[in-house]
Structure 1
Amino acid sequence: MTHNDNPVNGQDTPSFLDLLNQLPPVPSAPEVDAKPGTGRLAWLRAAWKESWEEGGFLYQRWEEVFQARHSSWHEVANWIKAAALFGGLSLIVLMLDTAGDIADAALKGLSAVPATSGGEGGGPWGTVDYPVRVFLADQAAHLSVAPAALYAFWQLTGLLGLVGGFLGNAGARIAWLLFGIGSLAMIWSAAPAGGRAAATGLAALMWALASIFALRGLTLRPIVHNHPPQYQFNPALHLHATLPAPTPAGDDLGPDKIHPLQR
């Protein structure tokens, strides 16, 4: 089988021209007229069958797909890598586009709700939500922003802090703490005087229950790491003594003396 002459990462890059080189010759018009069953359709069937035989273009591509399940990323064929990257990028773009449409629709829906409507209903949520709406509406009168926009931003901050804190993001947990403290302050300021303490206490309990998920895994205990020391000091005393060289036996007279002749 013919491949591209320039391998990439030690792998031969398949070319679509290889498939064309393996196809049988196209029958001409006289051959079609002389031999029945040798038309274009029969030629396509033969080309398809030959491509799936051992050594054919489609057969080898299928073998590369089958081997990719048991190979690392560097050992996978280059055309499979390109197809996987293209498919992954397309999926990410599609998900981002869908998430943008959902977020835009949610923000428009929140902004369309009046900031002080439907807050006097019964239930714990109405007791907590209505003072927040009233406080934001009073403050928006002195600002160049709509009350519904402030209320939507308050809700979005709480949602991001809850979800991000559950995932362990430190910034989201800080935002969740500030969201809870600010909400308690707004409820205390805007709640009726007779039920101010009850509304604030109820809001604190609801915020504490939600913090079980937002602050999941957070602990106030100090983390102690017991690691063995990397360097150990072993005191030792080394004495270096220089000993004189021993004098050879029978050489007491020294090198300059003459030994007497003995018979």
Structure 2
Amino acid sequence: MTHHDKPVNGQDNPSFLDLLNQLPPVPTAPKLEGKHATMRFARLRTAWKASWEEGGFLYQRWEEVFRARNASWHEAANWIKAAALFGGLSLIVLMLDATGDIASATLKSLSAVPATSGGDGRGLWGTVDHPVRVFLADQAAYLSVAPAALYAFWQLTGLVGLVGGFFGNAGARIAWLLFGIGSLAMIWSAAPAGGRAAATGLAALMWALASMFALRGLTLRPVVHNHPPQYQFNPELHLHATLPAPTPAGDGPGPDNVHPRQR
């Protein structure tokens, strides 16, 4: 089978022309339009069947898809990786576009809510919630946003920080800490002067209780990992001594302490 694409990373890139090359030649026939259409259909049907036979274009592509299920990313065929990347990028673009539309519609609906300072400051939650509403309503007078939108954003930040922190997200925990500090500052600023300390302290206690869930598993103790050494050193001393080879008997003059007897 002929390929028209150059191999990349040791793999042959399939070309759709390979499927067309497997088409059988057109036999000679009378120049009739109806017969020509029938012959083209028969030719395409024959090429379709031939491409699914062993060694055909579609047969090899199906084999590559079947092998890609258990292969790594680098072992997959190039056309499979290109299709996966294109599909993933298209999905990300669609998700970003949908997220932008949802966020825009939400912000527009919040901005259209009429300004209200709701709540009368009664009860434990009203002691904490009412100063926040009053503070945001006062600040919204200098901003081009409705107080209700600021209050909704404040609630959304606390909810995201609480839920995301519960699942261990670092960014959500940072948002939860900033949410608590900002809430205490707003309560201290807008609470009545006589009960300012009590309202702020009550809010701090509520925030600390909620932090048991938002900061679940967070500890200030240093984490010490005791891992066995990857390389073990065994000191050993190797001595290499070269000993002379023994001299065979009768080849030399004999031992030095043997002398001929003299008269």
Both proteins in one fold, TM over 0.5: yes
Give the equivalent residue in structure 1 for 2:42. Answer: 42
1:58 aligns with 2:58: yes
Is 2:15 the counterpart of 1:4? no
Moved more, 52-61 or 212-221: 212-221
Rounded Cα–Cα distance in structure 2 between residues aligned with 1:163 and 1:30: 77
Residues 191 and 156 of structure 1: CA distance in aligned 2, closer, same or farther (over 3 Å): same
Which deviations, in whole Å up to 9, do the C-alpha atoms of 1:120-155 show, x marking residues without a partner? 4977655533321111222344x4454535435534
On the 8 A contact 1:3/1:12 being kept in 2, the answer is yes
Which residue of the partner structure matches residue 99 of structure 1?
99
For residues 61 and 174 of structure 1, the distance between their equivalents in structure 2, rounded to whole angstroms, comes to: 49
1:229 & 1:3 partners in 2: Cα distance? 52
Q: Is the 8 A contact 2:165 2:215 kept in 1?
A: yes
Q: Where does the alignment leave 5 or more consecutive residues of structure 2 unmatched?
A: 233-255
C-alpha deviation, 1:57, in angstroms: 0.8
Percentage of matched positions with identical amino acids = 83
Aligned residues: 241
Match for residue 88 of structure 2?
88
**Structure 1 SS opposite 2:14:** coil
User: How much does 1:62 deviate?
Assistant: 0.6
- Cα distance change on mapping 1:37 and 1:113 into 2, 3 Å: closer
Which residue does the alignment assign to 2:137?
137
Letter in 2 for 1:98: A
Instruction: State which drifts further: 99-108 or 163-172.
Output: 163-172
Partner SS, residue 75 of structure 1: coil
Question: 2:20 corresponds to which letter in structure 1?
Answer: L
Q: Structure 1: state its 5+ residue gaps.
A: 233-248, 251-261
Tell me the equivalent position of 1:16: 16
- 1:35 CA displacement: 7.6
| Structure 1 segment 107-146 matched on structure 2, within 5 A | 107-120=107-120, 127-141=127-141, 143-146=142-145
Aligned to 2:207: 207
Structure 1 residues 170 and 47: CA distance shift in structure 2, 3 A: closer
Task: Please give the residue correspondences for 1:121-200 in structure 2 after superposition, counting only pairs within 5 Å.
Answer: 127-141=127-141, 143-148=142-147, 150-166=150-166, 168-191=168-191, 200=200
Distance of 2:219 and 2:179 partners within structure 1? 20
Whole-angstrom CA distance in 2 between matches of 1:122 and 1:28 = 97
Letter in 2 for 1:6: K
Q: Is the 8 A contact 1:64 1:76 kept in 2?
A: yes
Partner of 1:71: 71
User: In structure 2, what is the Cα distance between the partners aligned to 1:122 and 1:108?
Assistant: 31
Name the amino acid aligned to 2:208.
A
Give the equivalent residue in structure 2 for 1:259.
none
Instruction: State the SS of the aligned residue for 1:63.
Output: helix
Of 85-94 and 38-47, deviating more is 38-47
CA distance in 2, matches of 1:198, 1:9: 70
Return the offset for 1:185: 3.2
Structure 2 distance, partners of 1:228, 1:50, is 60
* Contact 1:184-1:200 at 8 Å conserved across structures: yes
Letter in 2 for 1:137: A
With normalisation by structure 1, the TM-score equals 0.71
1:258 is matched with: none
> Could you tell which deviates more after superposition, 29-38 or 86-95?
29-38
Deviations 1:208-231 (A, max 9, x none): 343233212211223344467999
Residue 43 of structure 1, CA deviation = 2.6
What is the CA distance between 1:50 and its match in structure 2?
A: 1.6
